[in-house]
Structure 1
Amino acid sequence: MLRFILRRLLQMVGVVIVLSMLVFLWLRSLPGGTVSAMLGERATPARRAALEKALGLDQPIYVQYWEFVKRAAQGKFGASTGVQAGTDAFDIFLQRFPATIELALFSIVLAIIVGIPLGYLAARRRASWFDNLSVVGSLIGVAVPVFFLAFLLKYFFAIQLHWLPVSGRQDSGIDATRVTGFFVLDGILTREWDSAWDAIKHLILPGLALATIPFAVIFRITRAAVLDVMDEDYVRTAESKGLTRRVIRGRHVLRNALLPVVTTIGLQTGGLLVGAVLTERVFSWGGLGEATALSFERRDYAVLQVLLLMFAITFVVINLLVDIAYAVIDPRIRTR
């Protein structure tokens, strides 16, 4: 198992290097560039030349890339010019990272808790009214745009019914103690239960909106995987041996059906972390998604490069965790 993990880690390093090259080259191919974003209307040829020299942009591309790697390793990406002008770009990432992680984890856990059992039950009751209704529900979950669903949830449950908060991560009137930046966890650690409950209430609507697509995908993959496994010879052999349904379902059906589901969960989690732009904007969440949208709008290349690089690393780390989960579920994977 250790050799398997080390092999995956070495592969991960190579992938990160390639991704850093792609991010570096793409950002430098964007119109305007860093110099125009920093100087704005004051951009004269003399000032542009001076700033390019100060930033090292007059050097050969390989020298610029090496300097980029050295600064990135130290967390030095420059100061923000648009999202939070004057603030260090990496500090903006650190400030907003807990908000997106908290929302993404809530959404994916919700999708897993509902999607896997529902997919399993739908497969067990193939072609029944329950199966057909579940499939229709999953199709609706994929088809409805996230931003539209977010507006609907906000309108009905926050504005019309006043059951849940309209936006933000927590009411401004709550004097909460900040420890980790994860508002729910902070409330639990400090035993400020009103703070934790208020943070959970703020999570529900954006979490539901963000969980719809992962739920639909996890449900359909689980259903399809369980149907495939149920038709395997070893399941029929287990039934003929007189094993109990609980043993057959747990040891033979669900365990083997989990392999494609684990991959799906990993990909969906990565997608939630980098794709929560619209949901965060609708609910004014203040996470990385909102920062990404603002950095594009305001041409804040310092923030944009740190966000893109961190998103790429996040995907790679999640894939590593998926590979490890694969190896735990199916030991044969470790030898490949």
Structure 2
Amino acid sequence: MRVLAAMSGGVDSSVAAARAVAAGHDVVGVHLALSRDPQAVRESARGCCSLEDSADARRVCDKLGIPFYVWDFSDRFHEEVIEDFIDSYARGETPNPCLRCNEKIKFAALLERALALGFDAVATGHYATVDEDGYLRRSPDEKKDQSYVLGVLSSKELQHCLFPVGDTPKPQIREEAAQYGFSTASKPDSYDICFIPDGNTQAFLGRTIGLRPGMIVDQQGQELRQHDGAFQYTIGQRKGLDIKTPADDGKPRYVTDIDARTGTVTVGPREALAVSRIKADRLKFLHPKMVGDIDCQVQVRAHGSVAACRAHIHRSEDWMELELQEPLSGVARGQAAVLYLPMPDGLGDVVLGSGTICETTK
């Protein structure tokens, strides 16, 4: 099988490529150049897809004896990930750019080109598995499981995906990389937004969106102070509110709602964050059981826990409503709601599909 190995320059994709070679596939490595700045470098080991990462990926491919290429996807990345990120915050949402990058770039765009060039599959270093029936499942390494950010794929795309490291704990992956002699064996994981390498999201949004003054108000609409832009806040936020007047009950305040149109940021007690219903659109389907009314579990953050729910799927209208058995806190518009079906076989929960949260009921 002809396999295109997506090489981020990290340890996971390095071992994924090595395992694809060991499996007897005809493997070619490719690194995606996503920055419009050709001199972009990794800052404090926070981001990914930098010049250093490209060099690391090349060295791995040289050791494996496979071809290596760099593909420039920077224009598409800027349009479909960075601009989407900015627009989403400007609407008062809290997007996940890594999830959108998986959806639009690392699988849709990359897979489209790979198939056009005659490759059969794309291999990545994501921690998830595909079972013998072709369904996406959680990784056995719960701490590293990335099935949530893969929940935006389509079933057609999944047919051409390989996740060679998805069934292995991370420490073992590092040991395997060291055995191969890869320089990436001890390389730190990237953990921030790649196009904001210093990690200062508010400063980035301030430069791109600009100042949009508005008011922070309490649950009764009383004005507490002015702010410079609603994009500085997210649902569930507690720190950085800088409100001088304490609440009547003396308890901490949290951001409970954001109205980007008026610039109003509402704050209130922790209990005001409780959400009992979630509406999501832009649905993606990965399993035939994601239809009609189903009992399942939902995850609304990349590293969040799951909650039991009753999902009402309106496929033809492209939306779903989730009735939560127990309220969830800090659910923000723009995040993904990924549905899971628990499985008794111990091989990881099955991913049913996903939607983008557009409305919540408290």
Indicate the TM-score class for this superposition, using the shorter chain for normalisation: under 0.3
TM-score normalized by the length of structure 2: 0.24
- Structure with the bigger percentage of strand: 2
Bigger radius of gyration, 1 or 2?
Answer: 1
TM-score normalized by the length of structure 1: 0.26
